[in-house]
Amino acid sequence: MVKNNLIDNINEGVFVTDTEGRIIFANNALALIHGYDNPDKLLNKYFIEFIEPSARENVAEAFRKSIQSGETVHDIEVPIIKSDGTKATIQIKPSFIYENEKITGTQGIIIDITERKRVEDALKESEAKYHAIFEATSTATLIVEEDTTISMANNRCFQFTGYKPEELIGQKWTRAQTIRKSITG
């Protein structure tokens, strides 16, 4: 009673599949991750059905290799299609179930990482834009951290100072100023 109550009330999806990949147990959180109101709606469905079609073969291949080697695949990020047709990204933490040294199924935890992936993608896009603007400016520009370490400089800065990236990046601003003064007289 306590065990089932715990599994049904955690935020992570919990699943068990048979050797064919058919879901034989799902908790409430797994149903919600897939867009269902009841975990029974997942039972007897093949796990692969929920994976976005373009990723199915890669996921199936990873599990085949894992079964052949006997080593569990860890922390797989997988795009899925929810019951309402929307896309989400999950992280699967599977492990094999063994009986008499033979794999009889898979069990594991699923975490919905859709929001985290959205934020990571937005950050990558923002960084790419920032980098493009930083490099496109015709002004020599560098970034100096609080401890006076130069952490970034654009190509115009290297052209202007005559330094190579490895001579400037990572140096203290005060050291760079001293070197520049000795060069310019």
pLDDT digits (tens, 9 = 90+) for 88-138: 999 999 888 999 988 898 999 999 999 999 999 999 999 888 888 888 888
* 6 domain residue, yes or no: yes
Question: Does the pLDDT at position 154 exceed 80?
Answer: yes
Q: Are residues 92 and 45 in the same domain?
A: yes
CA dist., res. 106 & res. 70, Å (int): 12
pLDDT of residue 135: 83
Q: Average pLDDT in the 40-61 region?
A: 92
Q: Are residues 77 and 141 in the same domain?
A: no
* 129 domain residue, yes or no: no
Q: What angle (nearest 5°) sits at the alpha carbon of residue 89, between those of residues 17 and 64?
A: 40
Q: Are residues 152 and 96 in the same domain?
A: no
Q: Are residues 111 and 165 in the same domain?
A: no
The answer to whether 111 and 90 are in contact (CB under 8 A) is yes
CATH number at residue 86: 3.30.450.20
Extract the tokens encoding 14.
């919990």
170: CB partners within 8 A, 6+ apart: 149, 150, 151
- Domain of residue 67: give its range: 2-117
Q: Are residues 8 and 61 in the same domain?
A: yes
Taking the model in full, what pTM does it have?
Answer: 0.68
Domain count, the chain: 2
* 95 domain residue, yes or no: yes
- Beta strands 87-99; 23-26: pairing state: unpaired
Q: Are residues 68 and 38 in the same domain?
A: yes
pLDDT of residue 141: 87
Domain-terminating residue out of 87, 117, 147: 117
Q: Are residues 102 and 175 in the same domain?
A: no
Domain-terminating residue out of 117, 151, 169: 117
